[in-house]
Structure 1
Amino acid sequence: MAVETKAAEGERERQGGIGIPSRPSPFRIPSPAGRSSAAAAVEMDPEAVRRSLEPTAFAREVAGSATHLYDTFSLSGVRIDGVEHGRLLCSFLVTPRIASPAGYLLSGVTATLADQLGSGVFFCSGILTSGVSLELGLSYLDVASIGEEIEVEGKLLRAGKSVGVVSVDFRKKKTGKLIAQARHTKYLAVSSKL
């Protein structure tokens, strides 16, 4: 687990960061044929994916501290471990703040992460704008207890002209056992032809 210094933590808070420590990506693959090198650079850059998951200054100004608090809370502690075209690999530790009184990972946290990290998969696939979620389906297969490390893998299944689908799998890092599986369908914001 990455350790963040007090100075780095203070700087992150001043910039409105979400607590994802910087870490070099182990994934580097060439972009698919037909994509420009600029688009390939955006979709493969872990920093660009991190920035896409951070709350925007506009959202913080318009919605006030509630949006910032939500975004900070929901993604705090999530580490981006790998980025490649159509795939995003993250991990996090189950802590008491995201666990039920019984000590298990809350299902709402899993759903929130599936939604937000699923959107990150579209971004690292070169789809720089997306609209609302059309459907988010989750199957909960096992529990994760406080102290367990969870690995999250998001994969692009399909990106059409106006709708895209990703899968998001949650696994126990130690055993590889699947604890939840999500399928996230999003409207892909199509720019106006006017």
Structure 2
Amino acid sequence: MRNPSSASQEPQAASSSDCITTAKSDERSPPYAPYLMRFLEGVGISNPIPENYSSKDFYSDLLCNHLKVDTVRRGHVTCFTTVKPAITNALDGLHGGVVAAIAERVATATARTVVGEDKDMFLGELAMSYLSSATIDAELIVEGSVVRSGRNLTVIVVEFRMRETGKLVYSSRATFYNSPLVAKL
């Protein structure tokens, strides 16, 4: 049996009076706040968005300027892209978001080669594997292929390979759900 006067080794639950906060959050900044602010300013988070970047569908225009279609045939789409500074991350590699956006574009185009215009499609899943990095001026071959296409589901794989060596750097799998268009009454 325990002695009630001895200190317990078990953690105590915090009561509501233990969690007192001040109304002014700027009175006590965490010690790492200046470092975080310098980091965010260094990567450009604090900069205002330039006017020409806030136009409707700017990112589609940006991607289309970097993606060149090579071949389109049933169940297969091949494109080329070159890594330019506008689409790189802080380490001068192709930005992960750009890789995913290109994969989605190519997957959608590939799915449309087998899914008729009479069906609506929506992206249900996009899985990415970042296997290596593509640095500035690297040329990539982006290939989309149909893995399976049925009445309600279409699965596409998109591979990014170095044009010079054929090395696989990024891989993606996209799942589209197909449904018939709703007839107008």
State the TM-score, normalized to the length of structure 1. Answer: 0.63
Shift of 1:84: 1.1
Distance 2:106 2:73 in 1: 14
Distance 2:158 2:90 in 1: 26
User: What amino acid is aligned across from residue 110 of structure 1 in structure 2?
Assistant: V
SS in structure 2 opposite 1:75?
A: helix
Stretches of structure 1 lacking an aligned partner (at least 5 in a row): 1-63
Shift of 1:71: 1.2
SS in structure 2 opposite 1:175?
A: coil
Q: Displaced runs of 4+ in structure 1, greater than 2 A?
A: 124-131, 191-194
User: Counterpart in 2 of 1:161?
Assistant: 151
SS in structure 2 opposite 1:109?
A: helix
User: Counterpart in 1 of 2:56?
Assistant: 66
SS in structure 1 opposite 2:134?
A: coil
Shift of 1:147: 0.5
User: Counterpart in 1 of 2:76?
Assistant: 87
Distance 1:130 1:74 in 2: 23
Distance 1:138 1:174 in 2: 22
SS in structure 2 opposite 1:116?
A: helix
Which structure is larger by alpha-carbon Rg, 1 or 2? Answer: 2
Aligned pairs for 1:134-149 within 5 A = 134-149=124-139
Answer whether contact 1:86 1:122 (CA < 8 A) is retained. yes
SS in structure 2 opposite 1:66?
A: coil
Which stretch of structure 1 is more off in the superposition, 172-181 or 154-163? 154-163
- Give the structure with the larger helix fraction: 1
Q: Paired residue for 2:160, among 158, 170, 186? A: 170
Q: How many residues align?
A: 130
Shift of 1:76: 1.6
Distance 2:139 2:116 in 1: 29
Percent sequence identity over matched residues? 30
Answer whether contact 1:130 1:186 (CA < 8 A) is retained. no
User: What amino acid is aligned across from residue 146 of structure 2 in structure 1?
Assistant: L
1:156-179 residue CA offsets vs partner (Å, 9 max, x unmatched): 111111111100000000000000
Shift of 1:189: 3.0
RMSD across aligned C-alpha pairs, in angstroms? 1.8
Q: Paired residue for 1:112, among 101, 107, 117? A: 101
Shift of 1:126: 4.8
Distance 1:156 1:74 in 2: 22
